[in-house]
Amino acid sequence: MKFLTEAPRFLFFTGKGGVGKTSIACAAAVKLARAGKRVLLVSTDPASNVGQVFGLAIGNTVTAIPGVDGLWALEIDPEQAVQAYRERIIAPLRGTVPDTDLAAVAEQLSGSCTTEIASFNEFTMLLTDDTGGYDHVLFDTAPTGHTIRLLQLPGNWSQFLTGGGDATCLGPLSGLDKHKAVYAAAVTTLADPDRTRVILVARPSRSALAEVARTRTELAAIGMNNQYVVVNGVLPDTVQTTDPLAAAVHRRERAALAAMPDTVAVLPRDLIELKPANIVGIDALTTLFDPTSPSQATTTTASNAAVHATLAQLIDDIEDEGPCLIMCMGKGGVGKTTVAAAVAVALARRGHDVHLSTTDPAANLAETLGGSLEHLHLSRIDPAQAVEDYRARVMATKGATLDAAGRAALAEDLLSPCTDEVAVFQAFSHVIAESRRRFVVIDTAPTGHTLLLLDATGSYHRDIVRQLAPGLRFTTPLMRLQNPAATKVLLITLPETTPVLEALDLQTDLERAGIHPWAWIINNSLTAAAPSDPLLQRRANAELAPISQVTQRTQRYAVIPTLATEPAGIPALTALTDPMAALVVREPR
């Protein structure tokens, strides 16, 4: 593997969700450790599944990996990190201030911005602390958009602290000021090609490779230029061309690789072939970088009645119940954007007024749609634009009554990275409100970051409840999310072990917040596509257990088969929900 040749101390694995970052990071960690290196594998993804790959609980403490000498792993758990961060600030105050003041400080430290800085502090310490004695530290990061955010934070927080802003939502500024040197050192480390290498992971598809090109540019802008590309899950040349699906997918992948953006094509590149089974466990990890052995024996794809449940049937039920909020949620790379677009297109073609939006910084709905459609309005909750609008609004309202010094102080306070979370939440709330009168379909950011957004929604709800007089009627965004008549959450997953476990964990988290998923959608199923190629058949048969896990958990679900072509463009999206639709537009019921 080129990306492991003369590897520096820090390796960052990033890319679009679902491309296999975790598997590749874990396999790389095993390979380096078995070469005699001391290796720490760190997950910075709030929805980490490193523990699932190794088959053990890891969590927020450094854990030795059994069976691999010299390998340890750590999952930065946002909840544990924020508890420790909050306690460090509150503990010195106990017994020295009134309980009401202590409660006020605790409330200030309950927002999602506190979660961000707490997790971020652990991340920066790993970049600047040599006490562990590790030869290599590998970071398995969150999907692209949020990794960019994480890697930009050292500079953002360093600039904010240097400016002397008022970090009340993070506790006393003096408690953060001591971190300025650490943040500055982290910036230097990230930009040093002798210490840091970025591995851009993609699938052999046009959309994933286009995402890599965008990521390359954004990381180069913050000085991270030592970049390699790994294209994962490439269908080998040994597939049977007599299988129409295998032949079409092989042609599609080769065309995508040939047409990859020039900025990506010039980078050192590794191709990893598709394997017949999921990469779980140390034995499987050690074979990930090996060529895939051809499968000679033809097997029969096992049948499962569940694969005949269609997305069109779910849309019929959504339409019958009238305007609502439809949230597509799940792990990165499971097809949330595609499903959200397909649902929105189907409802718009039936004559309904539909607003399709996204909270995912890495999503590109315009590319997925590939055109416009009557009754369909498209938007994106752009964090940069949301922050700009929020700052302008605060300066025009709160700032209007202040003198010059007060306005200057307010403007400086609004430069805090915490402002981003508040701004995005407000934009999210405005979109939710539209669902009272029309269908609103939201393509959410990958799992962990969506939960942080919902946490902000819950914090806002608690503030409203506390401030309003008893008996006064009100409806907060959280209350609409908890109302099954107002909000339908679609859990999107793949027919694979890890994505299904991830979706089950997400369902548990949502139900704890009083939000109950309305339906599950299993995307990209080879079982439903019934291939004849031996390699694809083996992968299809491996889907049966994960599909059964879903169908045993819910009575409302749909299965979308693996497609010969990428589902991009309105005709292709229409075919996902109504293969016989052609150009027919249905009237609303």
Distance CA 356, CA 311 (A): 17
The helices-and-strands tally (H runs, E runs) of the chain is 25, 15
Q: Is the dihedral of CA 278, 280, 284, 288 positive or negative?
A: positive
Catalytic entry in 21, 31, 331, 488? 21
Distance CA 38, CA 385 (A): 43
Asked if 236 contacts 292 with a C-beta cutoff of 8 angstroms, the reply is: yes
Per DSSP, the residues of 119-176 read HHHHHHHHHH--TT--SEEEEEPPPHHHHHHHHHHHHHHHHHHHHT---TBTB-HHHH
What's phi and psi for 249, nearest 5 deg? -65, -40
Active site residue 20: yes
Catalytic entry in 207, 419, 487, 498? 498
Measured N-to-C along each axis, helices 383-397 and 404-413 cross at an angle, to the nearest 10 degrees, of 160
Q: Is the dihedral of CA 476, 335, 490, 511 positive or negative?
A: negative
Asked if 390 contacts 426 with a C-beta cutoff of 8 angstroms, the reply is: yes
Nearest to 310 by CA among 479, 486, 525: 525
What's phi and psi for 295, nearest 5 deg? -95, 115
Catalytic entry in 22, 358, 457, 493? 22
**Burial status of residue 94 (CB atoms within 10 A of its CB: 0-12, 13-18, 19 or more):** exposed
First and final C-alpha spacing in the chain: 57
**How far lies 236's CA from each of 113, 333, 473, in Å?**
45, 21, 61
Could you tell me whether strands 439-443 and 325-329 are parallel, antiparallel, or unpaired per DSSP bridges? parallel
Catalytic entry in 14, 15, 16, 20? 20
Catalytic entry in 14, 17, 23, 119? 23
Nearest to 161 by CA among 405, 407, 412: 412
Distance CA 493, CA 446 (A): 11
Nearest to 364 by CA among 56, 76, 16, 90: 16
Amino acid at 362: A
**How far lies 401's CA from each of 268, 398, 410, in Å?**
56, 6, 11
**Burial status of residue 353 (CB atoms within 10 A of its CB: 0-12, 13-18, 19 or more):** middle
Distance CA 447, CA 47 (A): 6
Nearest to 328 by CA among 414, 249, 230, 439: 439
Active site residue 493: no
Q: Degrees (nearest 5) of the Cα angle 287, 498, 511?
A: 170
Q: Is the dihedral of CA 141, 142, 144, 145 positive or negative?
A: negative
Active site residue 22: yes
Burial readout 222-255 (b: 16 or more C-beta within 10 A, e: otherwise): ebbebbbbbbbbbbeeebbeebebbbebbebbee
Query: Looking at the annotation, which residues are catalytic?
Result: 18, 20-23, 45, 498
